[in-house]
Structure 1
Amino acid sequence: MLDTVREIETPEGVSLRLRAAGAFSRAQAWLLDLGLRAIVYSTAVGIFAALGRGGTGLALLLLFALTWGYNVVCEVWFHGQTLGKRALGLRVVSADGTPVTLLPSITRNLLRVVDGLPGIYGVGLVCGMIDPSARRIGDIVAGTLVVHADDLPAGSKVPVAPAQPLPLPLDQDEQAAVIEFAERSPQLTVQRQEELADILYPLTGREGTAAVVQLTAYANGLLGRP
Protein backbone atom coordinates (compact mmCIF):
# COMPACT_ATOMS: atom_id res chain seq x y z
CA MET A 1 0.00 0.00 0.00
CA LEU A 2 1.27 3.49 -0.83
CA ASP A 3 2.03 5.96 1.96
CA THR A 4 -0.82 8.38 2.66
CA VAL A 5 -1.08 11.94 3.88
CA ARG A 6 -3.33 12.65 6.85
CA GLU A 7 -4.49 16.19 7.60
CA ILE A 8 -5.31 16.91 11.24
CA GLU A 9 -6.41 20.01 13.10
CA THR A 10 -4.80 21.00 16.38
CA PRO A 11 -6.94 22.28 19.31
CA GLU A 12 -6.06 25.86 18.33
CA GLY A 13 -7.38 25.30 14.79
CA VAL A 14 -4.06 24.94 12.94
CA SER A 15 -4.03 22.34 10.14
CA LEU A 16 -1.10 19.92 10.02
CA ARG A 17 -0.22 17.32 7.42
CA LEU A 18 1.31 14.03 8.55
CA ARG A 19 2.45 11.34 6.14
CA ALA A 20 1.14 8.02 7.45
CA ALA A 21 3.44 5.05 6.94
CA GLY A 22 2.15 2.34 4.62
CA ALA A 23 2.07 -1.40 5.20
CA PHE A 24 5.38 -2.09 3.43
CA SER A 25 7.56 0.26 5.53
CA ARG A 26 5.81 -0.87 8.72
CA ALA A 27 6.41 -4.51 7.82
CA GLN A 28 10.10 -3.80 7.30
CA ALA A 29 10.35 -2.17 10.73
CA TRP A 30 8.50 -5.10 12.31
CA LEU A 31 10.87 -7.62 10.71
CA LEU A 32 13.89 -5.67 11.96
CA ASP A 33 12.51 -5.62 15.49
CA LEU A 34 11.68 -9.31 15.29
CA GLY A 35 15.21 -10.14 14.18
CA LEU A 36 16.80 -8.00 16.90
CA ARG A 37 14.64 -9.56 19.61
CA ALA A 38 15.41 -13.04 18.30
CA ILE A 39 19.15 -12.31 18.50
CA VAL A 40 18.85 -10.99 22.07
CA TYR A 41 16.72 -13.94 23.16
CA SER A 42 18.87 -16.65 21.57
CA THR A 43 22.03 -15.12 23.05
CA ALA A 44 20.47 -14.89 26.50
CA VAL A 45 19.15 -18.46 26.35
CA GLY A 46 22.65 -19.70 25.67
CA ILE A 47 23.83 -17.93 28.82
CA PHE A 48 20.82 -18.96 30.94
CA ALA A 49 21.29 -22.62 29.95
CA ALA A 50 24.21 -22.84 32.36
CA LEU A 51 21.89 -21.93 35.26
CA GLY A 52 19.65 -24.98 35.02
CA ARG A 53 16.00 -24.60 36.04
CA GLY A 54 16.62 -21.08 37.25
CA GLY A 55 17.89 -20.20 33.81
CA THR A 56 14.70 -21.55 32.25
CA GLY A 57 12.66 -19.21 34.42
CA LEU A 58 14.81 -16.25 33.45
CA ALA A 59 14.47 -17.16 29.78
CA LEU A 60 10.68 -17.18 30.09
CA LEU A 61 10.70 -13.80 31.82
CA LEU A 62 12.90 -12.37 29.08
CA LEU A 63 10.60 -13.81 26.40
CA PHE A 64 7.62 -12.13 28.08
CA ALA A 65 9.45 -8.80 28.32
CA LEU A 66 10.57 -8.88 24.69
CA THR A 67 7.12 -9.90 23.45
CA TRP A 68 4.94 -7.53 25.49
CA GLY A 69 7.21 -4.90 27.01
CA TYR A 70 9.66 -4.00 24.25
CA ASN A 71 7.24 -2.07 22.04
CA VAL A 72 5.53 -0.24 24.91
CA VAL A 73 8.80 0.87 26.53
CA CYS A 74 10.18 2.11 23.20
CA GLU A 75 7.00 3.91 22.17
CA VAL A 76 6.43 5.71 25.49
CA TRP A 77 9.98 6.46 26.62
CA PHE A 78 11.90 6.63 23.33
CA HIS A 79 9.74 9.06 21.35
CA GLY A 80 7.50 6.46 19.72
CA GLN A 81 10.31 4.55 18.06
CA THR A 82 11.42 0.95 18.41
CA LEU A 83 14.85 0.21 16.96
CA GLY A 84 13.20 -1.05 13.78
CA LYS A 85 11.05 2.06 13.41
CA ARG A 86 14.05 4.28 14.08
CA ALA A 87 15.97 2.55 11.30
CA LEU A 88 13.07 3.11 8.88
CA GLY A 89 12.40 6.67 10.04
CA LEU A 90 8.97 5.87 11.49
CA ARG A 91 7.30 6.94 14.72
CA VAL A 92 4.13 6.11 16.65
CA VAL A 93 2.13 9.19 17.63
CA SER A 94 -1.36 9.96 18.87
CA ALA A 95 -3.96 10.65 16.19
CA ASP A 96 -3.55 14.42 16.77
CA GLY A 97 0.22 14.27 16.22
CA THR A 98 1.18 14.49 19.91
CA PRO A 99 3.49 11.90 21.56
CA VAL A 100 1.87 8.55 22.33
CA THR A 101 1.19 7.91 26.02
CA LEU A 102 1.21 4.74 28.13
CA LEU A 103 -2.40 3.52 27.90
CA PRO A 104 -2.76 3.92 24.10
CA SER A 105 0.60 2.18 23.63
CA ILE A 106 -0.47 -0.75 25.80
CA THR A 107 -3.80 -0.96 23.95
CA ARG A 108 -2.29 -0.97 20.45
CA ASN A 109 0.26 -3.61 21.41
CA LEU A 110 -2.20 -5.92 23.18
CA LEU A 111 -4.36 -5.86 20.06
CA ARG A 112 -1.47 -7.23 18.01
CA VAL A 113 -3.02 -10.59 18.95
CA VAL A 114 -6.08 -9.68 16.88
CA ASP A 115 -4.15 -8.02 14.06
CA GLY A 116 -1.91 -11.08 13.80
CA LEU A 117 -4.80 -13.41 12.95
CA PRO A 118 -4.98 -15.80 11.17
CA GLY A 119 -1.21 -15.55 10.76
CA ILE A 120 1.53 -13.13 9.66
CA TYR A 121 -0.64 -10.11 10.47
CA GLY A 122 -3.42 -11.04 8.08
CA VAL A 123 -6.13 -8.99 9.80
CA GLY A 124 -3.79 -6.06 10.33
CA LEU A 125 -2.74 -6.05 6.69
CA VAL A 126 -6.31 -6.09 5.39
CA CYS A 127 -7.33 -3.37 7.84
CA GLY A 128 -4.34 -1.25 6.84
CA MET A 129 -5.28 -1.55 3.18
CA ILE A 130 -8.83 -0.41 3.89
CA ASP A 131 -8.14 2.38 6.37
CA PRO A 132 -7.25 5.76 4.74
CA SER A 133 -4.36 6.20 7.19
CA ALA A 134 -3.07 2.63 6.86
CA ARG A 135 -3.94 1.85 10.50
CA ARG A 136 -4.36 -1.63 11.86
CA ILE A 137 -7.11 -2.42 14.41
CA GLY A 138 -4.77 -1.72 17.33
CA ASP A 139 -4.10 1.80 16.06
CA ILE A 140 -7.77 2.52 15.41
CA VAL A 141 -8.84 1.43 18.89
CA ALA A 142 -5.92 3.15 20.64
CA GLY A 143 -6.21 6.36 18.62
CA THR A 144 -2.64 6.15 17.34
CA LEU A 145 -0.91 6.55 14.01
CA VAL A 146 2.43 5.46 12.54
CA VAL A 147 4.00 8.31 10.57
CA HIS A 148 7.27 9.25 8.94
CA ALA A 149 9.24 10.92 11.73
CA ASP A 150 10.74 13.65 9.55
CA ASP A 151 7.26 14.95 8.74
CA LEU A 152 6.21 15.65 12.33
CA PRO A 153 5.40 19.30 13.10
CA ALA A 154 7.50 21.37 15.48
CA GLY A 155 6.63 20.64 19.09
CA SER A 156 5.56 17.04 18.51
CA LYS A 157 8.29 15.77 20.83
CA VAL A 158 7.37 18.02 23.74
CA PRO A 159 6.57 15.79 26.77
CA VAL A 160 2.87 15.79 27.55
CA ALA A 161 2.14 17.68 30.79
CA PRO A 162 -0.69 19.80 32.23
CA ALA A 163 -0.74 22.99 30.19
CA GLN A 164 -0.42 26.47 31.67
CA PRO A 165 -0.88 29.84 29.92
CA LEU A 166 2.03 32.24 29.66
CA PRO A 167 2.05 34.88 32.41
CA LEU A 168 3.04 37.56 29.89
CA PRO A 169 2.90 37.93 26.09
CA LEU A 170 5.83 36.67 24.02
CA ASP A 171 6.60 37.20 20.35
CA GLN A 172 6.70 34.25 17.94
CA ASP A 173 10.45 33.72 18.23
CA GLU A 174 10.25 33.66 22.02
CA GLN A 175 7.35 31.21 21.92
CA ALA A 176 9.32 28.99 19.53
CA ALA A 177 12.29 29.08 21.92
CA VAL A 178 10.11 27.86 24.82
CA ILE A 179 8.73 25.01 22.71
CA GLU A 180 12.17 24.07 21.43
CA PHE A 181 13.56 23.96 24.97
CA ALA A 182 10.76 21.65 26.13
CA GLU A 183 11.22 19.46 23.05
CA ARG A 184 14.98 19.05 23.50
CA SER A 185 15.22 18.99 27.31
CA PRO A 186 14.79 15.18 27.62
CA GLN A 187 18.01 14.80 25.60
CA LEU A 188 19.97 17.07 27.98
CA THR A 189 21.51 16.34 31.35
CA VAL A 190 19.57 17.55 34.37
CA GLN A 191 22.28 20.11 35.09
CA ARG A 192 22.09 21.53 31.56
CA GLN A 193 18.26 21.62 31.69
CA GLU A 194 18.34 23.62 34.90
CA GLU A 195 21.09 25.91 33.64
CA LEU A 196 19.06 26.87 30.58
CA ALA A 197 15.76 27.11 32.47
CA ASP A 198 17.28 29.45 35.06
CA ILE A 199 17.95 31.97 32.28
CA LEU A 200 14.18 32.36 31.96
CA TYR A 201 13.61 33.14 35.65
CA PRO A 202 11.86 36.43 34.73
CA LEU A 203 9.27 34.35 32.87
CA THR A 204 8.85 31.40 35.24
CA GLY A 205 9.71 32.92 38.60
CA ARG A 206 11.32 29.59 39.44
CA GLU A 207 14.74 27.98 39.43
CA GLY A 208 16.20 24.51 38.89
CA THR A 209 13.88 21.56 38.27
CA ALA A 210 10.81 23.65 39.06
CA ALA A 211 11.72 26.03 36.22
CA VAL A 212 12.09 23.11 33.78
CA VAL A 213 8.65 21.79 34.76
CA GLN A 214 7.14 25.26 34.40
CA LEU A 215 8.58 25.78 30.93
CA THR A 216 7.25 22.39 29.83
CA ALA A 217 3.80 23.43 31.06
CA TYR A 218 4.04 26.68 29.10
CA ALA A 219 5.10 24.75 25.97
CA ASN A 220 2.08 22.48 26.29
CA GLY A 221 -0.11 25.56 26.57
CA LEU A 222 1.40 27.08 23.43
CA LEU A 223 0.72 23.80 21.58
CA GLY A 224 -2.94 23.97 22.57
CA ARG A 225 -2.90 20.92 24.79
CA PRO A 226 -5.33 20.67 27.75
Structure 2
Amino acid sequence: METIKVNTSQHVDIDYPVAGLGERIAARLIDLAAFFGLYMLVILLAVLIRTETVFFILLIALGAIYVFYNLICEVFMNGQSLGKRLMKIKVISIDGSQASIGQYFIRWLFRLVDFALTAQIGGLIAVAVSEKKQRIGDMVAGTTLIKTVPRTRFDHIAFHPTEEEYTPVFKNADLLTDRDVELMHEVILTYYKTSNADLIYNMSAKVAEHLSLNIPQGMNELNFLTTVIKDYKHLTSQSD
Protein backbone atom coordinates (compact mmCIF):
# COMPACT_ATOMS: atom_id res chain seq x y z
CA MET A 1 0.00 0.00 0.00
CA GLU A 2 1.44 3.37 -1.02
CA THR A 3 1.77 5.84 1.83
CA ILE A 4 2.85 9.39 2.50
CA LYS A 5 4.75 10.50 5.57
CA VAL A 6 2.93 13.26 7.44
CA ASN A 7 4.60 15.27 10.18
CA THR A 8 1.93 15.85 12.84
CA SER A 9 1.60 18.93 15.01
CA GLN A 10 3.40 16.94 17.71
CA HIS A 11 6.37 16.60 15.29
CA VAL A 12 6.01 12.84 14.93
CA ASP A 13 6.04 11.30 11.46
CA ILE A 14 3.15 8.91 10.75
CA ASP A 15 2.54 7.07 7.49
CA TYR A 16 -0.93 7.58 6.01
CA PRO A 17 -2.27 5.44 3.13
CA VAL A 18 -2.47 7.83 0.20
CA ALA A 19 -5.51 8.07 -2.06
CA GLY A 20 -4.62 6.61 -5.44
CA LEU A 21 -5.26 8.14 -8.84
CA GLY A 22 -7.95 5.55 -9.56
CA GLU A 23 -9.81 6.38 -6.35
CA ARG A 24 -9.70 10.08 -7.17
CA ILE A 25 -11.07 9.45 -10.66
CA ALA A 26 -13.81 7.18 -9.30
CA ALA A 27 -14.81 9.82 -6.72
CA ARG A 28 -14.93 12.45 -9.48
CA LEU A 29 -17.14 10.24 -11.65
CA ILE A 30 -19.50 9.59 -8.74
CA ASP A 31 -19.82 13.32 -8.13
CA LEU A 32 -20.50 13.93 -11.83
CA ALA A 33 -23.09 11.15 -11.84
CA ALA A 34 -24.80 12.73 -8.82
CA PHE A 35 -24.86 16.09 -10.59
CA PHE A 36 -26.24 14.49 -13.76
CA GLY A 37 -29.01 12.91 -11.70
CA LEU A 38 -29.82 16.32 -10.23
CA TYR A 39 -29.82 17.81 -13.73
CA MET A 40 -32.31 15.21 -14.93
CA LEU A 41 -34.50 15.98 -11.91
CA VAL A 42 -34.50 19.67 -12.86
CA ILE A 43 -35.49 18.81 -16.42
CA LEU A 44 -38.30 16.62 -15.09
CA LEU A 45 -39.53 19.42 -12.82
CA ALA A 46 -39.40 21.85 -15.74
CA VAL A 47 -41.53 19.51 -17.85
CA LEU A 48 -44.06 19.12 -15.04
CA ILE A 49 -44.18 22.80 -14.06
CA ARG A 50 -44.00 24.22 -17.60
CA THR A 51 -43.02 27.66 -16.35
CA GLU A 52 -40.06 29.33 -18.05
CA THR A 53 -39.29 31.56 -15.05
CA VAL A 54 -39.11 28.64 -12.65
CA PHE A 55 -37.04 26.64 -15.14
CA PHE A 56 -34.61 29.56 -15.50
CA ILE A 57 -34.26 29.87 -11.72
CA LEU A 58 -33.65 26.14 -11.39
CA LEU A 59 -30.95 26.27 -14.07
CA ILE A 60 -29.19 29.13 -12.27
CA ALA A 61 -29.35 27.21 -9.00
CA LEU A 62 -28.06 24.09 -10.76
CA GLY A 63 -25.15 26.05 -12.23
CA ALA A 64 -24.25 27.44 -8.81
CA ILE A 65 -24.33 23.94 -7.33
CA TYR A 66 -22.03 22.68 -10.10
CA VAL A 67 -19.52 25.50 -9.55
CA PHE A 68 -19.44 25.47 -5.75
CA TYR A 69 -20.24 21.79 -5.12
CA ASN A 70 -16.73 20.65 -4.14
CA LEU A 71 -16.00 23.68 -1.98
CA ILE A 72 -19.27 23.44 -0.05
CA CYS A 73 -18.98 19.68 0.41
CA GLU A 74 -15.39 19.75 1.62
CA VAL A 75 -16.07 22.57 4.08
CA PHE A 76 -19.18 20.98 5.59
CA MET A 77 -18.28 17.29 5.13
CA ASN A 78 -14.80 17.39 6.69
CA GLY A 79 -12.81 17.25 3.47
CA GLN A 80 -15.12 14.97 1.52
CA SER A 81 -17.64 15.15 -1.28
CA LEU A 82 -20.24 12.44 -1.94
CA GLY A 83 -17.80 10.66 -4.24
CA LYS A 84 -14.90 10.94 -1.81
CA ARG A 85 -17.02 9.61 1.04
CA LEU A 86 -18.12 6.60 -1.00
CA MET A 87 -14.52 5.96 -2.06
CA LYS A 88 -13.36 6.42 1.56
CA ILE A 89 -10.88 9.19 0.84
CA LYS A 90 -10.63 12.72 2.23
CA VAL A 91 -8.67 15.96 2.05
CA ILE A 92 -6.30 16.70 4.92
CA SER A 93 -3.68 19.34 5.59
CA ILE A 94 -0.15 18.19 4.86
CA ASP A 95 0.62 18.35 8.61
CA GLY A 96 -2.02 15.70 9.29
CA SER A 97 -4.64 18.06 10.72
CA GLN A 98 -8.04 18.91 9.30
CA ALA A 99 -7.72 21.34 6.40
CA SER A 100 -8.87 24.91 7.01
CA ILE A 101 -11.58 26.74 5.08
CA GLY A 102 -8.84 28.76 3.41
CA GLN A 103 -7.11 25.59 2.22
CA TYR A 104 -10.37 24.20 0.85
CA PHE A 105 -10.95 27.49 -0.96
CA ILE A 106 -7.48 27.52 -2.55
CA ARG A 107 -7.69 23.94 -3.81
CA TRP A 108 -11.21 24.66 -5.13
CA LEU A 109 -9.98 27.81 -6.90
CA PHE A 110 -7.16 25.89 -8.56
CA ARG A 111 -9.66 23.48 -10.10
CA LEU A 112 -9.52 25.97 -12.95
CA VAL A 113 -5.88 25.06 -13.52
CA ASP A 114 -6.16 21.38 -12.66
CA PHE A 115 -9.23 20.68 -14.76
CA ALA A 116 -10.98 23.49 -16.64
CA LEU A 117 -7.95 25.06 -18.38
CA THR A 118 -6.08 21.79 -18.96
CA ALA A 119 -8.90 19.65 -20.36
CA GLN A 120 -9.18 17.66 -17.08
CA ILE A 121 -5.64 16.27 -17.31
CA GLY A 122 -3.50 18.85 -15.50
CA GLY A 123 -4.51 17.62 -12.07
CA LEU A 124 -4.23 13.97 -13.05
CA ILE A 125 -0.68 14.41 -14.32
CA ALA A 126 0.30 16.32 -11.17
CA VAL A 127 -1.10 13.55 -8.95
CA ALA A 128 0.68 10.88 -10.96
CA VAL A 129 4.13 12.50 -10.79
CA SER A 130 4.13 14.33 -7.44
CA GLU A 131 5.78 12.76 -4.41
CA LYS A 132 2.77 13.25 -2.12
CA LYS A 133 0.15 12.56 -4.82
CA GLN A 134 -1.03 16.16 -4.95
CA ARG A 135 -2.71 18.00 -7.76
CA ILE A 136 -1.61 21.60 -8.32
CA GLY A 137 -4.35 22.93 -6.04
CA ASP A 138 -3.14 20.62 -3.27
CA MET A 139 0.44 21.79 -3.66
CA VAL A 140 -0.56 25.44 -3.37
CA ALA A 141 -3.04 24.83 -0.52
CA GLY A 142 -0.76 22.48 1.42
CA THR A 143 -3.20 19.56 1.30
CA THR A 144 -3.37 16.01 0.02
CA LEU A 145 -5.86 13.13 -0.12
CA ILE A 146 -5.60 10.07 2.11
CA LYS A 147 -7.68 6.96 2.65
CA THR A 148 -10.01 7.33 5.62
CA VAL A 149 -8.50 4.79 7.97
CA PRO A 150 -10.31 5.12 11.33
CA ARG A 151 -8.12 7.19 13.69
CA THR A 152 -7.58 6.28 17.30
CA ARG A 153 -9.88 8.01 19.75
CA PHE A 154 -9.17 8.12 23.47
CA ASP A 155 -12.36 6.25 24.36
CA HIS A 156 -11.37 3.46 21.95
CA ILE A 157 -8.02 2.80 23.61
CA ALA A 158 -8.11 -0.48 25.46
CA PHE A 159 -6.50 -0.12 28.89
CA HIS A 160 -6.05 -2.92 31.31
CA PRO A 161 -7.71 -1.93 34.59
CA THR A 162 -5.14 -0.55 36.99
CA GLU A 163 -4.92 -1.96 40.46
CA GLU A 164 -6.08 0.26 43.32
CA GLU A 165 -2.62 -0.03 44.87
CA TYR A 166 -0.86 0.69 41.58
CA THR A 167 1.90 3.25 41.96
CA PRO A 168 2.57 5.28 38.80
CA VAL A 169 6.15 5.18 37.61
CA PHE A 170 5.93 8.65 36.10
CA LYS A 171 3.87 10.75 38.48
CA ASN A 172 3.63 13.74 36.15
CA ALA A 173 2.14 11.73 33.29
CA ASP A 174 -1.11 13.63 33.82
CA LEU A 175 0.60 16.68 32.28
CA LEU A 176 -0.20 15.01 28.96
CA THR A 177 -3.50 15.51 27.16
CA ASP A 178 -5.95 12.95 25.83
CA ARG A 179 -4.73 13.77 22.31
CA ASP A 180 -1.12 13.11 23.35
CA VAL A 181 -2.09 9.68 24.62
CA GLU A 182 -4.16 8.98 21.50
CA LEU A 183 -1.13 9.76 19.36
CA MET A 184 1.13 7.56 21.51
CA HIS A 185 -1.30 4.69 21.10
CA GLU A 186 -1.53 5.32 17.36
CA VAL A 187 2.26 5.28 17.07
CA ILE A 188 2.43 1.96 18.94
CA LEU A 189 -0.21 0.43 16.64
CA THR A 190 1.62 1.73 13.57
CA TYR A 191 4.87 0.25 14.89
CA TYR A 192 3.28 -3.21 15.21
CA LYS A 193 1.95 -2.92 11.64
CA THR A 194 5.09 -1.56 9.99
CA SER A 195 7.96 -2.53 12.36
CA ASN A 196 9.20 1.04 11.97
CA ALA A 197 11.09 1.44 15.25
CA ASP A 198 11.92 5.08 14.45
CA LEU A 199 8.31 5.96 15.30
CA ILE A 200 8.77 4.58 18.82
CA TYR A 201 12.14 6.29 19.30
CA ASN A 202 10.84 9.66 18.11
CA MET A 203 7.63 9.47 20.12
CA SER A 204 9.37 8.40 23.32
CA ALA A 205 11.91 11.21 22.95
CA LYS A 206 9.13 13.78 22.54
CA VAL A 207 7.21 12.44 25.54
CA ALA A 208 10.32 12.35 27.75
CA GLU A 209 11.16 15.91 26.75
CA HIS A 210 7.60 17.08 27.39
CA LEU A 211 7.57 15.49 30.86
CA SER A 212 11.14 16.67 31.60
CA LEU A 213 12.43 13.21 32.49
CA ASN A 214 14.86 10.57 31.31
CA ILE A 215 13.86 7.05 30.31
CA PRO A 216 14.93 4.82 33.22
CA GLN A 217 17.89 2.53 32.66
CA GLY A 218 16.75 -0.92 31.63
CA MET A 219 13.42 0.30 30.21
CA ASN A 220 13.18 0.34 26.43
CA GLU A 221 11.28 3.01 24.51
CA LEU A 222 8.23 0.83 23.81
CA ASN A 223 7.85 -0.09 27.48
CA PHE A 224 8.32 3.56 28.35
CA LEU A 225 5.39 4.61 26.16
CA THR A 226 3.10 1.85 27.42
CA THR A 227 4.01 2.70 31.03
CA VAL A 228 3.31 6.40 30.49
CA ILE A 229 -0.08 5.54 29.00
CA LYS A 230 -0.88 3.30 31.98
CA ASP A 231 0.27 5.99 34.41
CA TYR A 232 -1.80 8.63 32.62
CA LYS A 233 -4.92 6.46 32.79
CA HIS A 234 -4.39 5.77 36.49
CA LEU A 235 -3.67 9.38 37.44
CA THR A 236 -6.57 10.84 35.49
CA SER A 237 -8.99 8.19 36.77
CA GLN A 238 -8.03 9.08 40.35
CA SER A 239 -8.84 12.75 39.73
CA ASP A 240 -12.27 12.03 38.17
**TM range, smaller chain:** 0.5 to 0.7
Equivalent residues in 2 for 1:172-187, closer than 5 Å: 175-176=178-179
RMSD between superposed Cα atoms in Å: 2.7
Determine helix, strand or coil for the equivalent of 1:64. Answer: helix
CA gap 1:54/1:81 in 2 versus in 1, 3 angstroms: same
Aligned to 1:213: none
Aligned to 1:15: 13
Aligned to 1:124: 123
Aligned to 2:78: 79
Q: Hey, what's the Cα distance between the residues in 2 that align with 1:100 and 1:176?
A: 18
Aligned to 1:70: 69
CA gap 1:176/1:11 in 2 versus in 1, 3 angstroms: closer
2:44 pairs with one of 43, 46, 54: 46
Aligned to 2:33: 35
Identity value in percent: 28
Matched, 1:170 2:170: no
**What's the CA shift string for 1:6-41, capped at 9, x where partnerless?**
112223222221122121110001001100111012
Q: Hey, what's the Cα distance between the residues in 1 that align with 2:69 and 2:91?
A: 14
TM-score by length of 2: 0.60
Preserved contact between residue 4 and residue 134 of structure 1 (Cα < 8 Å): no
Q: Hey, what's the Cα distance between the residues in 2 that align with 1:153 and 1:13?
A: 17
Preserved contact between residue 105 and residue 142 of structure 1 (Cα < 8 Å): yes
Q: How far is the alpha carbon of 1:177 from its aligned partner?
A: 10
Aligned to 1:203: none
**Greater CA deviation, 90-99 or 47-56?**
47-56
TM-score by length of 1: 0.63
Q: Hey, what's the Cα distance between the residues in 2 that align with 1:177 and 1:118?
A: 43
CA gap 1:21/1:153 in 2 versus in 1, 3 angstroms: farther
Preserved contact between residue 7 and residue 96 of structure 2 (Cα < 8 Å): no
Q: How far is the alpha carbon of 1:153 from its aligned partner?
A: 6.1
Q: How far is the alpha carbon of 1:115 from its aligned partner?
A: 1.0
- In structure 1, runs of 5+ residues without a counterpart are 156-167, 180-226
- In structure 2, runs of 5+ residues without a counterpart are 155-171, 183-240
Count of aligned positions: 163
| Larger CA Rg, structure 1 vs 2 | 2
Aligned to 2:114: 115
Determine helix, strand or coil for the equivalent of 1:91. Answer: strand
Aligned to 1:103: 102
CA gap 1:154/1:130 in 2 versus in 1, 3 angstroms: farther
Q: How far is the alpha carbon of 1:151 from its aligned partner?
A: 6.0
Determine helix, strand or coil for the equivalent of 2:73. Answer: helix
Query: Given residue 25 of structure 1, which amino acid in structure 2 is its aligned partner?
Result: E
